[in-house]
Amino acid sequence: MTYILVFLFSVFVASLSQVLLKISAGRTYDSPLKEYLNPFVIIAYGLFFSTTLIELYAYKGLPLSMGPILEATGYMWVAVLSFLILKEKISKKKLLGLAVIIIGIIIYSL
């Protein structure tokens, strides 16, 4: 159970870094270099790297077949974080897609 929670934490952090990249993409910069070398992008990629290490640790106690299922929760986190941070609306299609993901995770875990 601990490894599952560690993996889910890693997925949450990766989703947060995706939101940071989206915030960075929505801004304008003076030069192309600043588009890639700004705090949002650097922190986001640092978080992505750290999630890779965290997931490697989590795989010590998880079967490889469970990884992609837990990784799918990232879609839910991105939607929730985009709603909370970016004030994006969650459409009916997104809700349906998230429901399908949740149902798939539940079916797999049974």
Q: pLDDT for 24-78, tens place per residue?
A: 988 888 888 988 899 999 999 999 999 999 999 999 999 998 998 899 899 999 9
Of 86, 73, 72, 104, give the one whose Cα is nearest residue 26.
Answer: 86
CA 38 vs. chain centroid, Å, equals 20
pLDDT score at 105? 84
Residue 64 DSSP symbol: G
pLDDT score at 108? 81
* pTM of the full structure: 0.85
Q: Range of 84's domain? A: 2-109
Instruction: Identify which has the larger pLDDT, 8 or 65.
Output: 8
Q: How many domains does the chain have?
A: 1
